[in-house]
Amino acid sequence: MRFSYFRLTPLIHTPSPHTQSWLHKVSLHRYYSTANEPRKRDWRLAGHPAPLSLTEDAEGKTLDLSEDEPPPRRRKRAPVEDTPEEWRRHRLAIKEAFPQGWSPSRKLSREAMDGMRAMHMYDKNTFPTPVLAEKFKISPEAVRRILRSKWEPSREQRARFAERERRSREERKMQNRLEEKKQKMELFPEAAEQRKPNRREEREPRGIDSKDRLYFG
């Protein structure tokens, strides 16, 4: 019987790619010496004593790091102790000055006035004067004056009033921002001095002639 190598080839176990890579590295390792490997650093720390622990002092005694008093517990109920005299006098003075509570006067917009009239006309029993005064946070006398008023602005006047209210809101917002910026500069003066202008501030002129431009034709 004649021997055939090709018939036995499928029966031979082929190593995995990982094993082949490892065998290749092992075969190449004999061509290199270990003399060029970096030497391990010797920090010479064997003669130095170990650092002291945070819980031990120089004499080796263990320190007590626990607090002298237990941490305060969060109150879940109102305190039962008496109110301090200063706070009590302040509270009595506030109650005497504002018996009905703090309710500053408010100025309603035209849209709010129209809504108040519409609610009162829809159902006078459901929306009487006291209820409207409480909902809109104004006095009952102001509600009566608004309901008695028969004057209605024209379309042009409504547009002008809306524009005026919009400008007033923007002015209030700008004023609040300026006040916040001023307070921030007072609290952090060093940051205000170190602030550098950005490129846009350096490029664009400011002042009376900020809109002037020079053109060379």
So what's the pLDDT on residue 170? 92
So what's the pLDDT on residue 134? 87
So what's the pLDDT on residue 177? 92
So what's the pLDDT on residue 100? 75
Tokens at 174, concatenated: 């700008």
Exposure string over 44-67, b if 16+ CB within 10 A, otherwise e: eeeeeeeeeeeeeeeeeeeeeeee
So what's the pLDDT on residue 99? 81
So what's the pLDDT on residue 65? 65
Nearest to 141 by CA among 127, 126, 152, 130: 130
| Cα dihedral sign, 20-24-27-30 | negative
So what's the pLDDT on residue 184? 84
So what's the pLDDT on residue 46? 66
pLDDT tens, N- to C-terminus, the chain (217 residues) = 555 545 555 555 566 777 777 777 666 666 665 555 666 776 766 666 777 676 666 666 666 666 667 777 777 787 777 778 888 898 899 888 888 777 666 778 878 888 898 998 888 889 999 999 888 888 889 899 999 887 777 888 888 888 988 898 899 999 999 999 888 888 877 665 666 556 665 555 555 555 555 555 5
So what's the pLDDT on residue 193? 61
